[in-house]
Structure 1
Protein backbone atom coordinates (compact mmCIF):
# COMPACT_ATOMS: atom_id res chain seq x y z
CA UNK A 1 0.00 0.00 0.00
CA UNK A 2 1.51 3.36 -1.03
CA UNK A 3 1.51 6.45 1.16
CA UNK A 4 -1.49 8.04 -0.56
CA UNK A 5 -3.65 4.99 0.17
CA UNK A 6 -2.38 4.90 3.76
CA UNK A 7 -3.29 8.55 4.29
CA UNK A 8 -6.76 8.11 2.77
CA UNK A 9 -7.41 5.08 4.97
CA UNK A 10 -6.16 6.96 8.03
CA UNK A 11 -8.39 9.93 7.23
CA UNK A 12 -11.47 7.73 6.76
CA UNK A 13 -10.95 5.75 9.98
CA UNK A 14 -10.19 8.87 12.03
CA UNK A 15 -13.20 10.77 10.69
CA UNK A 16 -15.54 7.91 11.55
CA UNK A 17 -14.03 7.83 15.05
CA UNK A 18 -14.54 11.60 15.40
CA UNK A 19 -18.25 11.25 14.67
CA UNK A 20 -18.66 8.62 17.38
CA UNK A 21 -20.18 10.16 20.56
CA UNK A 22 -17.62 10.60 23.33
CA UNK A 23 -16.44 13.13 25.94
CA UNK A 24 -15.19 15.55 23.28
CA UNK A 25 -18.50 15.46 21.39
CA UNK A 26 -20.45 15.96 24.61
CA UNK A 27 -18.22 18.88 25.63
CA UNK A 28 -18.90 20.76 22.38
CA UNK A 29 -22.65 20.08 22.54
CA UNK A 30 -22.85 21.19 26.17
CA UNK A 31 -20.98 24.48 25.73
CA UNK A 32 -21.16 25.77 22.14
CA UNK A 33 -24.85 26.70 21.95
CA UNK A 34 -24.90 28.25 25.42
CA UNK A 35 -21.67 30.24 25.35
CA UNK A 36 -21.44 31.07 21.66
CA UNK A 37 -19.50 30.28 18.51
CA UNK A 38 -16.22 31.75 19.77
CA UNK A 39 -16.21 29.53 22.84
CA UNK A 40 -17.13 26.54 20.67
CA UNK A 41 -14.21 27.25 18.36
CA UNK A 42 -11.68 27.47 21.19
CA UNK A 43 -12.99 24.21 22.65
CA UNK A 44 -12.58 22.68 19.17
CA UNK A 45 -9.04 24.07 18.93
CA UNK A 46 -8.13 22.60 22.31
CA UNK A 47 -9.61 19.23 21.41
CA UNK A 48 -7.83 19.11 18.04
CA UNK A 49 -4.43 20.04 19.48
CA UNK A 50 -4.69 17.39 22.19
CA UNK A 51 -5.59 14.87 19.48
CA UNK A 52 -2.52 16.00 17.55
CA UNK A 53 -0.40 15.49 20.67
CA UNK A 54 -1.82 11.97 21.11
CA UNK A 55 -0.96 11.24 17.48
CA UNK A 56 2.60 12.56 17.90
CA UNK A 57 3.09 10.45 21.04
CA UNK A 58 1.76 7.41 19.19
CA UNK A 59 3.77 7.84 16.01
CA UNK A 60 6.98 8.27 18.04
CA UNK A 61 6.24 5.23 20.21
CA UNK A 62 5.81 7.16 23.49
CA UNK A 63 2.18 6.03 23.91
CA UNK A 64 3.25 2.40 23.54
CA UNK A 65 5.91 2.86 26.23
CA UNK A 66 3.32 4.44 28.55
CA UNK A 67 1.04 1.44 28.12
CA UNK A 68 3.92 -0.88 28.94
CA UNK A 69 4.53 0.85 32.30
CA UNK A 70 1.56 0.00 34.54
CA UNK A 71 2.26 2.72 37.11
CA UNK A 72 2.44 5.54 34.54
CA UNK A 73 -0.66 4.28 32.73
CA UNK A 74 -2.50 3.96 36.05
CA UNK A 75 -1.62 7.57 36.91
CA UNK A 76 -2.92 8.69 33.52
CA UNK A 77 -6.14 6.74 34.03
CA UNK A 78 -6.57 8.22 37.50
CA UNK A 79 -6.02 11.77 36.23
CA UNK A 80 -8.35 11.23 33.28
CA UNK A 81 -11.10 9.60 35.33
CA UNK A 82 -10.88 12.30 37.99
CA UNK A 83 -11.08 15.11 35.43
CA UNK A 84 -14.10 13.57 33.66
CA UNK A 85 -15.78 13.08 37.05
CA UNK A 86 -15.02 16.73 37.84
CA UNK A 87 -16.70 17.81 34.59
CA UNK A 88 -19.67 15.58 35.37
CA UNK A 89 -20.17 16.92 38.88
CA UNK A 90 -19.83 20.47 37.57
CA UNK A 91 -22.51 19.88 34.94
CA UNK A 92 -24.85 18.30 37.50
CA UNK A 93 -24.32 21.22 39.88
CA UNK A 94 -25.12 23.63 37.04
CA UNK A 95 -28.29 21.68 36.38
CA UNK A 96 -29.37 22.01 40.00
CA UNK A 97 -28.52 25.72 40.20
CA UNK A 98 -30.18 26.64 36.92
CA UNK A 99 -33.16 24.28 36.92
CA UNK A 100 -35.59 27.14 37.45
CA UNK A 101 -33.68 29.66 35.35
CA UNK A 102 -33.67 30.07 31.58
CA UNK A 103 -30.24 29.50 30.01
CA UNK A 104 -28.97 32.54 28.14
CA UNK A 105 -25.80 33.03 26.06
CA UNK A 106 -22.99 35.04 27.61
CA UNK A 107 -22.09 38.50 26.43
CA UNK A 108 -19.22 39.10 24.05
CA UNK A 109 -17.06 40.53 26.85
CA UNK A 110 -17.43 37.41 28.96
CA UNK A 111 -16.75 35.19 25.96
CA UNK A 112 -13.50 37.03 25.30
CA UNK A 113 -12.24 36.42 28.84
CA UNK A 114 -13.19 32.74 28.62
CA UNK A 115 -11.23 31.87 25.47
CA UNK A 116 -8.35 30.42 27.48
CA UNK A 117 -10.73 28.51 29.74
CA UNK A 118 -12.58 27.06 26.74
CA UNK A 119 -9.30 26.02 25.08
CA UNK A 120 -7.96 24.48 28.28
CA UNK A 121 -11.15 22.53 28.93
CA UNK A 122 -11.10 21.12 25.40
CA UNK A 123 -7.38 20.31 25.55
CA UNK A 124 -7.50 18.54 28.92
CA UNK A 125 -10.68 16.60 28.17
CA UNK A 126 -9.01 14.73 25.33
CA UNK A 127 -5.45 14.75 26.63
CA UNK A 128 -6.41 13.04 29.92
CA UNK A 129 -8.70 10.49 28.26
CA UNK A 130 -6.81 7.17 28.54
CA UNK A 131 -9.07 5.65 25.89
CA UNK A 132 -7.79 8.25 23.41
CA UNK A 133 -4.20 7.25 24.16
CA UNK A 134 -4.98 3.57 23.54
CA UNK A 135 -7.00 4.36 20.39
CA UNK A 136 -4.27 6.43 18.74
CA UNK A 137 -1.54 3.98 19.71
CA UNK A 138 -3.55 1.23 17.99
CA UNK A 139 -4.48 3.41 15.01
CA UNK A 140 -0.98 4.63 14.26
CA UNK A 141 0.71 1.28 14.83
CA UNK A 142 -1.74 -0.55 12.56
CA UNK A 143 -1.91 1.98 9.72
CA UNK A 144 1.43 3.80 9.73
CA UNK A 145 4.32 1.47 8.82
CA UNK A 146 7.73 2.04 10.38
CA UNK A 147 9.18 2.36 6.88
CA UNK A 148 6.94 5.33 6.03
CA UNK A 149 8.90 8.49 5.24
CA UNK A 150 9.03 11.26 7.82
CA UNK A 151 7.35 13.59 5.34
CA UNK A 152 4.53 11.06 5.01
CA UNK A 153 4.23 10.82 8.79
CA UNK A 154 4.13 14.60 8.99
CA UNK A 155 1.28 14.70 6.48
CA UNK A 156 -0.52 12.00 8.49
CA UNK A 157 -0.29 14.17 11.61
CA UNK A 158 -1.64 17.19 9.72
CA UNK A 159 -4.51 15.09 8.35
CA UNK A 160 -5.47 13.99 11.87
CA UNK A 161 -5.26 17.53 13.26
CA UNK A 162 -7.07 19.28 10.40
CA UNK A 163 -9.92 16.74 10.33
CA UNK A 164 -10.32 17.04 14.10
CA UNK A 165 -10.45 20.85 14.01
CA UNK A 166 -12.79 20.81 11.02
CA UNK A 167 -15.23 18.38 12.65
CA UNK A 168 -15.45 20.00 16.08
CA UNK A 169 -15.43 23.58 14.71
CA UNK A 170 -18.19 22.61 12.23
CA UNK A 171 -20.18 21.05 15.05
CA UNK A 172 -19.79 24.22 17.13
CA UNK A 173 -20.81 26.36 14.15
CA UNK A 174 -23.89 24.22 13.51
CA UNK A 175 -24.99 24.37 17.13
CA UNK A 176 -24.72 28.19 17.14
CA UNK A 177 -26.95 28.80 14.13
CA UNK A 178 -29.81 30.98 15.42
CA UNK A 179 -32.70 28.53 15.06
CA UNK A 180 -30.84 25.55 16.45
CA UNK A 181 -29.17 27.64 19.16
CA UNK A 182 -32.56 28.75 20.52
CA UNK A 183 -33.70 25.15 20.71
CA UNK A 184 -30.45 24.09 22.38
CA UNK A 185 -30.71 26.92 24.91
CA UNK A 186 -34.26 25.93 25.77
CA UNK A 187 -33.02 22.41 26.37
CA UNK A 188 -29.87 23.59 28.17
CA UNK A 189 -30.75 22.17 31.58
CA UNK A 190 -31.48 18.76 30.07
CA UNK A 191 -28.24 18.84 28.07
CA UNK A 192 -26.34 19.68 31.29
CA UNK A 193 -28.08 16.79 33.01
CA UNK A 194 -27.27 14.28 30.26
CA UNK A 195 -23.66 15.48 29.92
CA UNK A 196 -23.25 15.47 33.69
CA UNK A 197 -24.47 11.88 33.93
CA UNK A 198 -22.32 10.86 30.94
CA UNK A 199 -19.11 12.47 32.24
CA UNK A 200 -19.72 11.15 35.77
CA UNK A 201 -20.37 7.59 34.63
CA UNK A 202 -17.38 7.55 32.27
CA UNK A 203 -15.05 9.09 34.87
CA UNK A 204 -16.36 6.73 37.55
CA UNK A 205 -15.91 3.73 35.25
CA UNK A 206 -12.29 4.66 34.49
CA UNK A 207 -11.53 5.09 38.21
CA UNK A 208 -13.25 1.76 38.94
CA UNK A 209 -11.00 0.10 36.34
CA UNK A 210 -7.97 1.57 38.13
CA UNK A 211 -9.11 0.24 41.52
CA UNK A 212 -10.13 -3.13 40.08
CA UNK A 213 -6.82 -3.51 38.26
Structure 2
Protein backbone atom coordinates (compact mmCIF):
# COMPACT_ATOMS: atom_id res chain seq x y z
CA UNK A 1 0.00 0.00 0.00
CA UNK A 2 1.43 3.39 -1.00
CA UNK A 3 1.89 6.19 1.53
CA UNK A 4 -0.94 8.11 -0.10
CA UNK A 5 -3.39 5.24 0.40
CA UNK A 6 -2.15 4.77 3.97
CA UNK A 7 -2.83 8.43 4.75
CA UNK A 8 -6.27 8.39 3.11
CA UNK A 9 -7.24 5.24 5.06
CA UNK A 10 -5.86 6.74 8.27
CA UNK A 11 -7.88 9.92 7.75
CA UNK A 12 -11.09 7.99 7.02
CA UNK A 13 -10.88 5.74 10.08
CA UNK A 14 -9.90 8.63 12.34
CA UNK A 15 -12.75 10.84 11.15
CA UNK A 16 -15.32 8.09 11.70
CA UNK A 17 -13.95 7.59 15.23
CA UNK A 18 -14.16 11.33 15.91
CA UNK A 19 -17.87 11.38 15.03
CA UNK A 20 -18.75 8.49 17.34
CA UNK A 21 -20.23 9.46 20.74
CA UNK A 22 -17.66 9.52 23.54
CA UNK A 23 -16.18 11.79 26.22
CA UNK A 24 -14.64 14.21 23.69
CA UNK A 25 -17.88 14.53 21.72
CA UNK A 26 -19.96 14.95 24.89
CA UNK A 27 -17.59 17.60 26.27
CA UNK A 28 -17.94 19.79 23.18
CA UNK A 29 -21.72 19.32 22.96
CA UNK A 30 -22.30 20.05 26.65
CA UNK A 31 -20.20 23.18 26.90
CA UNK A 32 -20.84 24.66 23.45
CA UNK A 33 -24.57 24.39 24.11
CA UNK A 34 -24.40 26.03 27.52
CA UNK A 35 -21.44 28.42 27.34
CA UNK A 36 -21.19 29.31 23.67
CA UNK A 37 -18.81 29.28 20.75
CA UNK A 38 -15.58 30.54 22.30
CA UNK A 39 -15.69 27.97 25.09
CA UNK A 40 -16.48 25.20 22.62
CA UNK A 41 -13.62 26.17 20.32
CA UNK A 42 -11.18 26.41 23.26
CA UNK A 43 -12.20 22.87 24.25
CA UNK A 44 -11.76 21.76 20.62
CA UNK A 45 -8.18 23.08 20.62
CA UNK A 46 -7.47 21.21 23.84
CA UNK A 47 -8.92 17.97 22.47
CA UNK A 48 -6.97 18.26 19.21
CA UNK A 49 -3.68 18.84 21.06
CA UNK A 50 -4.44 15.80 23.21
CA UNK A 51 -5.00 13.75 20.05
CA UNK A 52 -1.73 15.07 18.60
CA UNK A 53 0.15 14.03 21.75
CA UNK A 54 -1.49 10.57 21.69
CA UNK A 55 -0.51 10.23 18.03
CA UNK A 56 3.12 11.20 18.68
CA UNK A 57 3.39 8.83 21.66
CA UNK A 58 1.89 5.99 19.62
CA UNK A 59 4.13 6.67 16.63
CA UNK A 60 7.25 6.66 18.81
CA UNK A 61 6.22 3.50 20.70
CA UNK A 62 5.87 5.16 24.11
CA UNK A 63 2.13 4.46 24.31
CA UNK A 64 2.79 0.80 23.50
CA UNK A 65 5.20 0.57 26.43
CA UNK A 66 2.57 2.07 28.75
CA UNK A 67 -0.12 -0.28 27.46
CA UNK A 68 2.12 -3.36 27.75
CA UNK A 69 3.14 -2.50 31.32
CA UNK A 70 0.19 -3.62 33.52
CA UNK A 71 1.06 -1.32 36.42
CA UNK A 72 1.33 1.83 34.32
CA UNK A 73 -1.80 1.08 32.32
CA UNK A 74 -3.71 0.35 35.55
CA UNK A 75 -2.73 3.77 36.91
CA UNK A 76 -3.80 5.43 33.64
CA UNK A 77 -7.15 3.62 33.74
CA UNK A 78 -7.77 4.70 37.32
CA UNK A 79 -6.79 8.31 36.60
CA UNK A 80 -8.82 8.51 33.40
CA UNK A 81 -11.89 6.77 34.77
CA UNK A 82 -11.82 8.82 37.97
CA UNK A 83 -11.50 12.05 36.00
CA UNK A 84 -14.52 11.22 33.85
CA UNK A 85 -16.47 10.32 36.99
CA UNK A 86 -15.45 13.68 38.44
CA UNK A 87 -16.78 15.45 35.33
CA UNK A 88 -20.05 13.57 35.58
CA UNK A 89 -20.60 14.01 39.32
CA UNK A 90 -19.53 17.66 39.43
CA UNK A 91 -21.79 18.32 36.44
CA UNK A 92 -24.76 16.74 38.22
CA UNK A 93 -24.01 18.89 41.29
CA UNK A 94 -24.05 21.97 39.05
CA UNK A 95 -27.37 20.93 37.52
CA UNK A 96 -28.91 20.49 40.97
CA UNK A 97 -27.57 23.89 42.02
CA UNK A 98 -29.02 25.45 38.85
CA UNK A 99 -32.44 23.86 39.52
CA UNK A 100 -32.47 24.97 43.16
CA UNK A 101 -31.21 28.51 42.56
CA UNK A 102 -32.01 29.42 38.92
CA UNK A 103 -32.31 33.16 39.51
CA UNK A 104 -28.97 33.33 41.36
CA UNK A 105 -27.16 31.58 38.51
CA UNK A 106 -28.69 33.83 35.86
CA UNK A 107 -28.05 36.96 37.86
CA UNK A 108 -24.39 36.31 38.54
CA UNK A 109 -23.72 34.49 35.29
CA UNK A 110 -22.28 31.68 37.37
CA UNK A 111 -20.36 29.11 35.39
CA UNK A 112 -20.17 25.93 37.41
CA UNK A 113 -18.39 23.90 34.74
CA UNK A 114 -15.96 26.13 32.80
CA UNK A 115 -14.55 29.34 34.29
CA UNK A 116 -12.32 30.64 31.45
CA UNK A 117 -10.98 29.87 27.98
CA UNK A 118 -7.79 28.55 29.57
CA UNK A 119 -9.88 26.30 31.78
CA UNK A 120 -11.83 25.13 28.72
CA UNK A 121 -8.61 24.32 26.83
CA UNK A 122 -7.22 22.43 29.85
CA UNK A 123 -10.48 20.53 30.27
CA UNK A 124 -10.36 19.38 26.66
CA UNK A 125 -6.67 18.44 26.82
CA UNK A 126 -7.02 16.54 30.10
CA UNK A 127 -10.17 14.70 29.05
CA UNK A 128 -8.47 13.37 25.93
CA UNK A 129 -5.06 12.58 27.43
CA UNK A 130 -6.47 10.69 30.41
CA UNK A 131 -8.79 8.55 28.31
CA UNK A 132 -7.20 5.06 28.19
CA UNK A 133 -9.51 4.11 25.33
CA UNK A 134 -7.88 6.86 23.23
CA UNK A 135 -4.42 5.46 24.05
CA UNK A 136 -5.46 1.96 22.92
CA UNK A 137 -7.17 3.33 19.79
CA UNK A 138 -4.11 5.24 18.59
CA UNK A 139 -1.78 2.32 19.34
CA UNK A 140 -3.99 0.11 17.16
CA UNK A 141 -4.38 2.75 14.46
CA UNK A 142 -0.67 3.52 14.18
CA UNK A 143 0.61 -0.04 14.48
CA UNK A 144 -1.88 -1.31 11.92
CA UNK A 145 -1.71 1.42 9.29
CA UNK A 146 1.63 3.25 9.67
CA UNK A 147 4.56 0.98 8.77
CA UNK A 148 7.94 1.54 10.40
CA UNK A 149 9.39 2.00 6.92
CA UNK A 150 7.22 5.04 6.19
CA UNK A 151 9.22 8.16 5.40
CA UNK A 152 9.62 10.94 7.95
CA UNK A 153 7.58 13.22 5.71
CA UNK A 154 4.81 10.61 5.58
CA UNK A 155 4.76 10.26 9.38
CA UNK A 156 4.67 14.02 9.88
CA UNK A 157 1.84 14.23 7.37
CA UNK A 158 -0.03 11.53 9.29
CA UNK A 159 0.36 13.53 12.53
CA UNK A 160 -0.89 16.67 10.81
CA UNK A 161 -3.91 14.84 9.39
CA UNK A 162 -4.88 13.39 12.78
CA UNK A 163 -4.54 16.77 14.51
CA UNK A 164 -6.19 18.90 11.81
CA UNK A 165 -9.18 16.56 11.35
CA UNK A 166 -9.80 16.58 15.10
CA UNK A 167 -9.57 20.36 15.25
CA UNK A 168 -11.83 20.77 12.21
CA UNK A 169 -14.50 18.37 13.51
CA UNK A 170 -14.69 19.65 17.07
CA UNK A 171 -14.55 23.31 16.01
CA UNK A 172 -17.29 22.68 13.44
CA UNK A 173 -19.38 20.99 16.12
CA UNK A 174 -18.84 23.87 18.54
CA UNK A 175 -19.66 26.40 15.80
CA UNK A 176 -22.84 24.62 14.71
CA UNK A 177 -24.14 24.27 18.27
CA UNK A 178 -23.46 27.90 19.16
CA UNK A 179 -25.17 29.73 16.29
CA UNK A 180 -27.94 32.08 17.43
CA UNK A 181 -30.63 29.99 15.77
CA UNK A 182 -29.48 26.75 17.40
CA UNK A 183 -28.87 28.47 20.74
CA UNK A 184 -32.44 29.75 20.80
CA UNK A 185 -33.73 26.27 20.04
CA UNK A 186 -31.55 24.62 22.67
CA UNK A 187 -31.99 27.14 25.47
CA UNK A 188 -34.86 25.23 27.05
CA UNK A 189 -33.10 21.90 26.51
CA UNK A 190 -29.64 22.86 27.80
CA UNK A 191 -30.14 21.39 31.26
CA UNK A 192 -31.29 18.07 29.73
CA UNK A 193 -28.29 18.05 27.39
CA UNK A 194 -26.08 18.64 30.44
CA UNK A 195 -27.75 15.72 32.19
CA UNK A 196 -27.23 13.33 29.27
CA UNK A 197 -23.57 14.36 28.89
CA UNK A 198 -22.92 14.02 32.63
CA UNK A 199 -24.54 10.58 32.57
CA UNK A 200 -22.28 9.60 29.67
CA UNK A 201 -19.18 10.80 31.54
CA UNK A 202 -20.24 8.88 34.64
CA UNK A 203 -21.01 5.62 32.80
CA UNK A 204 -17.77 5.65 30.79
CA UNK A 205 -15.73 6.64 33.85
CA UNK A 206 -17.29 3.93 36.02
CA UNK A 207 -16.79 1.33 33.27
CA UNK A 208 -13.09 2.19 32.92
CA UNK A 209 -12.49 2.06 36.69
CA UNK A 210 -14.44 -1.20 37.00
CA UNK A 211 -12.48 -2.82 34.15
CA UNK A 212 -9.19 -1.70 35.72
CA UNK A 213 -10.05 -3.12 39.14
CA UNK A 214 -11.63 -6.35 37.90
CA UNK A 215 -8.71 -7.39 35.68
Q: TM-score normalised to the size of structure 2?
A: 0.93
Aligned mates of 2:125, 2:78 — CA distance in 1: 17
Q: Which residue of 1 aligns with 2:173?
A: 171
Q: How does 1:59-208 map to 2 (within 5 A)?
A: 59-99=59-99, 101=102, 114-208=116-210
Aligned-residue offset at 1:113: 6.5
Aligned mates of 2:38, 2:64 — CA distance in 1: 35
Aligned mates of 2:33, 2:22 — CA distance in 1: 18
Unpaired runs of at least 5, structure 1: none
Aligned-residue offset at 1:95: 1.5
C-alpha contact (below 8 Å) 1:94/1:192 kept by paired residues: no
Farther-moved stretch of structure 1 (191-200 vs 118-127): 191-200
Q: Secondary structure at the match of 1:86?
A: helix
Aligned mates of 1:113, 1:98 — CA distance in 2: 16
Aligned-residue offset at 1:116: 0.6
Q: Secondary structure at the match of 2:167?
A: helix
Aligned mates of 2:168, 2:153 — CA distance in 1: 22
What is the RMSD of the two structures over their aligned residues, measured on CA atoms? 1.7
Q: TM-score normalised to the size of structure 1?
A: 0.93
